[in-house]
Each structure stands twice: as structure tokens, then as C-alpha cells.
Structure 1
Amino acid sequence: MLYLIAVSRNAAYVHGAIYWNNNIDLPSHTILPMPALSPTMNQGNIVKWRKEEGDKIEVGDVICEIETDKATLEFESLEEGFLAKILAPEGSKDVHVGQPIAITVEDLDDIQNVPATVSTGLEAREEKTMESDVQDQGKKQKTGFSRISPSAKLLIVTHGLDVSLLRSTGPRHTLLKGDVLAAIKSGSASSRTSDSPQQGISGSPMSKSVPTGTSSSESSAHLHPPEKQEDLPNSQIRKVIAKRLLESKQNIPHLYLSSDVILDPVLAFRKDLKEQRGVQVSVNDIIVKAVALALRSVPEANAYWNDERGEPALCESIDISIAVATEKGLMTPIVRDADKKTLSAISLEIKELAAKARTGKLAPGEYQGGTFSISNLGMFPVDQFCAIINPPQACILAVGRGNKVVECTVGSDGTEKPGIATKMSLTLSADHRVFDGSVGGRFLAALTLNFNEVQRLLL
């Protein structure tokens, strides 16, 4: 649940984005804009309206559900009234923060005095787009398209196609790569001679036809598009994930350190907790606790890069972010003060947070922040991988699955004997601006000690 105060009372517009007929005598009303539900949110999607036009709204009632860049949150009312007009219908995508989404009135009789049609500023942009399309229509009639993507241009030049025979399917008459590939496959666009002008394509970096000795069918055999394809819409969460991870790989110098740990003491410890103490925890719960205690031993690893000061800064608490896969994207709920909590408390909290993450019900305070991340793919056939740092954090630990291996052990008589052991691969991705390999090495050494001496996890 999220309580918001984001209204403009008795106003004719919000941020210049809503317009009324000046001749209409407006009732007392409140305009609800799209709220900023997280620090990184600049737009959102209207998932579902819980109230319909004409419904009574009480304090605390959920008006609608909004998908943000992190989760789907409920918009609750802090005032009484009636929902007079829904400006952003259910299913509206990419509604910018501050854009009006609804109008409420104080009295039920005032609903009939609210205009049936309201301009929200979007119509002006749509009319401008339509005018531009009309202006481009002349070019479209000559070539079948008014815009062309770089990849489509390259294919046309490479295969010497007649652009006047190509037809576009992209937005605003844009010729896409798929359009050219479809024309090549069907043979609808005949090849031009090598010395013929390139109609409709200017500034092309290539002017030569297909190299001699290579037939058009051979060069385009691997370019055939699939017969059927489906575009998958991106959620707000996935859009933000893509943006942040790209920025992370581009701007953060990743340092990778790997180490194998023997998992058998942990498995025996987990079995003992269940059989003798009635406490059931997962291997991932134990990893979280082991990482938290290792960070307490090596506080330099529990740090982040301060952009404003241009230097690393230590975190005051140890808050572990746990990567959880959901249908809408990867979420990272946080176990705060993990070094101070018992294994059973950590286990219960992770179960609750994971359930909320998968249903999109995480509150902002449950996923914002965190000082260290863990990404565990041990439940899949993944032996080892390198994870991408989740900024502004400086570290993320990638955990692979446990594998049975032959391991030599020293017997009581001092001789080495082969035996079977379960090994698990750990890979630390660290921000090299924050600490160097020696700090990462000390952290992995402390973490390995926690796995070998599992009784430390009960302290």
C-alpha cells in the first residue's frame, strides 16, 4: 500500500497539461496527476482501475494500480470524494509523472457538470504527428516509405535492390530491416545494375554491389526472417533494468574474483538444524548469513562509490539484496541488518520478500537501497557465471550450483586420500574504483572460512 498526496484543487490545469472550455462553470474538483512512486520513476502504466466513474471514494480506498519502474503499487486516496472522470484509461502505457490521470469532485451531483471530453495535452502531439505524416505522404508515394533504418539501407545497397518496389511496415512509414529481408525472400524487389543510381538513398557509405563470385541467393540465405514472429512488450521494470545494467557495464570498471568452496559442511549443518532443532533453512539462507558476517569482518567490501565526492564510502549497515526472478523482470528485495539476524529470521524474511516480489507487491523501502547483492543460480545447471553490479552498490556475488568432485583429504595418519566432495563456485564482481583485488581476496577468504566453520553462523 502507498499513500500519496498529489492533487491540484480547483485548478483549471496541471503543469499546463489539461485544458477546459472557459465557458463552462466548473464544480469544485481535484485533478490527480500520475505520481512519482519511486526516486527513479518518470513514467508509469495504469494496470487497473479499482474505482469506476461515479464511485464514492473513502479515505484509504485504492483508486488504481500503477506499474512503476520497480513494482506494481496501489494508489490510495487520502480524501473523500467521487471519481468524476478517468483521463488515463486502464492499460495506458508510459504515462509521464505529473500528467493528469483522473478528476474527483466533492459532491455526487457535481459529476454531471464535469465535461465529457477533456484535453490532456496528448491530442496536440497526435495532431502534430498526423500533420507530419501527411507531409511525408508525397515521399511515400514515390518510394513506398518516408524513413529508412540504417540496417535496411545497408541491405539495399549490398543487394542492389530497387527501392521504388519496397514497401514499409514500420511506424510513420519507416522501412525496416524486416521489410527488406521479406522483399529479398519473395523476390519482389528486383536487383538494379551496379551502375544504376541509388534512388531514395543518400549518404550511403557503400556504393558497390555484391562482390563477384557470390550469388545473391548465397549472400542472403542466412538473412531470411522467420515466417512468424511476435513482439513482446517491455514492462516498466524491464526497461529500467536494461537501462541501469547497460550503464553499469559502461561506467563501472568490473573486477572479477572467483573461488571454490566446499559445500559439505553447510549441507551437514543444514541437515542438523532440521533434524535436531526443527529449523528448516535453505542453502541460499545460509549463504546470505555467511556473506553478511564476511562483510562484517571486511567492512571495506561493504562500500559504494560516491559520485559527488569522487571517492569510495563505507556503508553503515549490512543490507543484502537478493536477486529474485519474476515474470516482469529481476527484482532485488533487501534483507536489512542481515549480520544481526538469526538464520531462521533471514529464512522467513526471504520467503516473504520473494512472494511479494513475484506478485509485484514490494513496497519501495523493501527494494530500494542495499549495500551488497547476491545472485544465486544454484538451482539451475549453471556451474559458474559473472553477474553485473547493481549500482550504486559496489559488489555482487554470483553463486553457481554444487558439483560432486574428487577431492584429496588428509587423513589422521597424515597421508592424503581421495574422496568425494561437493564444490560450489563463487564469483565476486566488484567496482574496481572502490577497492582492489586484495580487499576482494580478504572478503572471499572470510567467506570461505564461514563455509568451513559453519558454527560461526550461529553467533
Structure 2
Amino acid sequence: MAVKEFALPDLGEGLTESELVSWHVAVGDTVHLNQIIAEVETAKALVELPAPYAGTVSRLYVEPGVTVAVGEPLVAFEVEGAAGSEPAAPAAAPTEESPSSDAAVREPVLVGYGARPDAKGRPARRSRPGLASQPAAREAVAAPAVAAPAQPSAPTAPASDTAVRERPRATPPVRKLARERGIDLAAVTGTGERGLVTRADLDAYATKPAAALQATEAAPGELRIPIKGVRKATAEAMVRSAFGAPQATVFLTVDVTPTSELIERLRARPDLADARPGLLAVVAKALCLAARRTPEVNSKWDEAAQEIVQTRAINLGIAAATPRGLLVPVIRDADGHSLAELSGAIRELAVTARSGKTQPAALSGGTITITNVGVFGVDAGTPILTPGEAAILAVGAVRRQPWEHRGEIALRDVLTLALTFDHRIVDGEQGSRFLADIGRILADPASVLTLV
């Protein structure tokens, strides 16, 4: 029998680390090739990891909730083959210089093949544990750049030394409670068997005077939530967007009663019974049609080249609120989709996003975005651009309210649209014309015949 390790693979899209969400196997389990063994959360999506070998799980290096850098070991297997004392290194990705070696070095991993070959070093992991039921961590890791507060009784090691930080022993429920309270388990003295940290230990620690609390602990009445995964990526993207591009927003309130009536007629058609097109699909179609007259909205700013890059295809991002945070999956070539196809694509991506199964590749490459704030009962807002895009359209709630119609006051379906655009790329006249074109389509769907 030989021991083979499986390291966190390079999941693409520039991702350098992932958080282990759950194990689907345990030590001693027999697994077959490509069996799903774990689930990890990147900054963009939940990803299932398949087994790269058929064999027996001999060791799990990481606990759920721990962030791991690409290339660091996750699990070890005992596999049939020549015995060896050293575990096999994760297979490296093939380079352009050696394409013919691909079959020789790649293991049958579905989602990636280890760290990038040109990587200059591994990103630091937030914690380097071994599982409670496992031996101590196999190797040392570099000390963090910012050291924790020194304890009086602990000697200070030289800056060049490396050391292993043992993860405090605690059950998963206690770890979850500690995260919810913002308590660093390393600062808690465990009173359970062999130093196990218990719920009572957390309660006792929380009653310490404020001066004795670690900086990461929540004060009474506070709940501190670590920023990671999708929410961390979203926060970074929004800051980058808000301060990286001059953004302007224009608003338009429209009588969309004709669109509401059109949707009712379409849903009554037998050939569209499965698609069931709704307002968001019609808005998406209107956006694609209006972009023909104002292609600037489907552009991006190339800072390095100081050029505006217009994209022919419309890769439409649909902002989706999920339990993990905001995701923007992309419908590629949306301008080539029929209304029924757009409706189906929007429904599918929303279900996939909320279930956490959206793949990283589906969250990149967008050229313009729609965000539906109306689903929350909101009339309007000033959306922030998705980084790298020139425009984002916010769709408010449809309100049944008094409105001027044919010289009289009548109850009509009224909707407010808000368009935020990058003012380096889109002038006010262009942004206003684009928004007015969308509004014209929604107010009178037959007006699409004039958009040539």
C-alpha cells in the first residue's frame, strides 16, 4: 500500500484559498475514484471535491471551518501500489512548454490539479490545525505576519523560527458557538477531558472583565461575524468599484401596465407554460434590445491601455441574494436568447445560486448587470457597478397606483428604474437614452419595432 495526499486544487478564476465546509468521508472509509469527499467554499461558490484516488482514507488534515491555501494537503489515502514512506506530491498543472506531459503527471481530479506552477509561495492559512482525532500537524508553517498578543509565561521565539499552532480541542457545536460570539478558542482554557473546551468554558470566558478579553471577542450585546467567503469578496468588489470609477445614476418611472398585460397573455399560452416569463425576463429582453442603440453601456474601461473596450455579446449578470451573500451569475450571449429562454435561464441561475451550487466560472465574464430590488418591496435604489462593467440597472417594485392615462387619472402598474453607469465610458445623454429606451419598451412592448 502507498500513501497518497490530495491537496486543495487550483479552482481557477484567480482563487488562492478556500474554506472547508464539510467532509463527506471519515478516516477508515473506502472511497472510489471521483467520489465526492468534501465541499469547499471559495469567494464565489460552493465546490464539491472528488476523490483523486480509489483507496482508504487514512488522514484528514483539516477541520470544517478552516481556510486552506491552494496546494496545502486536505486528506491522505492508502492506495494499492508500491509501498513508500513519502506521500505523493499533488500533481502540478501542465505548462505551455510541456503539453505532451499532461497525461503523465495529471491525476484524475475533476476540479483542478494543485497549485499554480508559477506560484512564488503559498498564501498563509488562517489556522493550521490537525483534527482532534488526528496526530499533530505534519509540518511547520510560517508564523503570521501579525502576531497575537504575547502571554507573560510564553517565551518569544526568534522571528526566523517556524512553529505549528495547535487548534484548541472542541466539539463542532462549541466551535460554531465560539464563532457566533466572536471568541477566539485559543484564548479559552478548556476544562473538559484532556483540555476540551466546553460551552461552560465559553460562558465563563464571556464573563471576564472587558480588559481581559481578546480583541476578537464581542462585547456584551454584540455579535461579531467573520467576513469571509462570498461576503468578503462582495465587500472588496464594492469598495473597488465605488472608489475606482466615477458613477452616476439616473431614474425613470414608467407606466408598465401594457407589459403586465403582455405577461398575462404570454403565461396563458400553452407553448410558454413551462417558461412562465415574468417581469425580470421582459426587462432583460428590453435591456438587450436597448443596448443596440447605446453599445457604450456594454463596455469596460481598460486602465492599463487607457481604452474603452466595447463587447459585442451581452453577458448579462443577474444579481441574486443568497444565504451566503450576493452573487451575480451570468447569462452568456443573453442578446441571442428569446424571451422564453431568458426566463428559463434566470429561473435556473437563481435556484442554483440559492442552493450554493453556482460554479466560479458562471460568476465571471459579465458585461452588464440587472439587480431586482423590487422583489424586496423597494421602489428604487442607486446600485453600485459590478467591477469591470459600465452599467447596472436596478428594477423596483411594481405599484398599482393612480397615474395619468389618456388625459385621465386611472389605476396603473407603475415601476421605477435606476441606471448607474461609469461616467468615463457613458455620458449622461447616452445613459439617459438607454434608460428611456428600456422604459419605452416596458410602456409599449410594440415599440421594439422602432429600435433599429
TM-score (norm: length of structure 1): 0.68
Q: For residues 456 and 349 of structure 1, do their structure 2 counterparts lie closer, same or farther at Cα, with a shift above 3 Å needed?
A: farther
The aligned amino acid for 1:454 is: P
Q: For residues 130 and 312 of structure 1, do their structure 2 counterparts lie closer, same or farther at Cα, with a shift above 3 Å needed?
A: closer
Partner of 1:24: none
The aligned amino acid for 1:107 is: E
Q: Are the aligned partners of 2:260 and 2:413 in contact in 1 as well (CA < 8 Å)?
A: no
Partner of 1:404: 400
Instruction: Tell me how far apart the structure 2 counterparts of residues 266 and 45 of structure 1 sit (CA, whole Å).
Output: 44
Q: Are the aligned partners of 2:2 and 2:82 in contact in 1 as well (CA < 8 Å)?
A: no
Q: Are the aligned partners of 2:53 and 2:79 in contact in 1 as well (CA < 8 Å)?
A: no
Partner of 1:246: 239
Partner of 1:67: 41
SS in 2 for 1:82: strand
Q: Does 1:394 align with 2:367?
A: no
The aligned amino acid for 2:69 is: H
Map of 1:121-140 to 2, 5 A cutoff?
A: 121-122=140-141, 125=143, 132-134=150-152
Stretches of structure 1 lacking an aligned partner (at least 5 in a row): 1-26, 139-164, 180-226, 411-415
The aligned amino acid for 1:262 is: D
Partner of 2:18: 44
Q: For residues 449 and 166 of structure 1, do their structure 2 counterparts lie closer, same or farther at Cα, with a shift above 3 Å needed?
A: closer
Q: Are the aligned partners of 1:87 and 1:102 in contact in 2 as well (CA < 8 Å)?
A: yes
Map of 1:300-449 to 2, 5 A cutoff?
A: 300-410=296-406, 416-449=407-440
TM-score (norm: length of structure 2): 0.69
Partner of 1:263: 256
Q: Are the aligned partners of 1:301 and 1:440 in contact in 2 as well (CA < 8 Å)?
A: yes
Partner of 1:32: 6
Q: Are the aligned partners of 2:41 and 2:47 in contact in 1 as well (CA < 8 Å)?
A: yes
Q: For residues 423 and 30 of structure 1, do their structure 2 counterparts lie closer, same or farther at Cα, with a shift above 3 Å needed?
A: same
Q: For residues 119 and 263 of structure 1, do their structure 2 counterparts lie closer, same or farther at Cα, with a shift above 3 Å needed?
A: same
Q: Are the aligned partners of 1:406 and 1:421 in contact in 2 as well (CA < 8 Å)?
A: yes
Cα distance per residue 1:63-86 (max 9 Å; x no partner): 211110011101123443433221
User: Bigger shift: 66-75 or 394-403?
Assistant: 394-403
User: Bigger shift: 250-259 or 66-75?
Assistant: 250-259
Higher helix share: 1
Instruction: Tell me how far apart the structure 1 counterparts of residues 308 and 148 of structure 2 sit (CA, whole Å).
Output: 51
The aligned amino acid for 1:121 is: A
Cα distance per residue 1:66-121 (max 9 Å; x no partner): 110011101123443433221112332x2222222222342399699989444243
Q: For residues 135 and 310 of structure 1, do their structure 2 counterparts lie closer, same or farther at Cα, with a shift above 3 Å needed?
A: farther
Deviation at 1:48, TM superposition (A): 1.1
Instruction: Tell me how far apart the structure 1 counterparts of residues 420 and 345 of structure 2 sit (CA, whole Å).
Output: 25
Partner of 1:77: 51
RMSD: 3.2
Q: For residues 62 and 358 of structure 1, do their structure 2 counterparts lie closer, same or farther at Cα, with a shift above 3 Å needed?
A: same
Q: Name the % identity.
A: 27
Instruction: Tell me how far apart the structure 2 counterparts of residues 322 and 285 of structure 1 sit (CA, whole Å).
Output: 10
Deviation at 1:400, TM superposition (A): 1.1
Q: Are the aligned partners of 1:323 and 1:331 in contact in 2 as well (CA < 8 Å)?
A: yes
Partner of 2:68: 95
Cα distance per residue 1:149-181 (max 9 Å; x no partner): xxxxxxxxxxxxxxxx9723124xx8x9x77xx
Deviation at 1:28, TM superposition (A): 4.2
Q: For residues 120 and 239 of structure 1, do their structure 2 counterparts lie closer, same or farther at Cα, with a shift above 3 Å needed?
A: farther
Deviation at 1:426, TM superposition (A): 0.8
Stretches of structure 2 lacking an aligned partner (at least 5 in a row): 88-133, 157-208
Deviation at 1:418, TM superposition (A): 2.9
Cα distance per residue 1:177-215 (max 9 Å; x no partner): x77xxxxxxxxxxxxxxxxxxxxxxxxxxxxxxxxxxxx
Larger Rg: 1
SS in 2 for 1:256: strand
Deviation at 1:233, TM superposition (A): 3.7
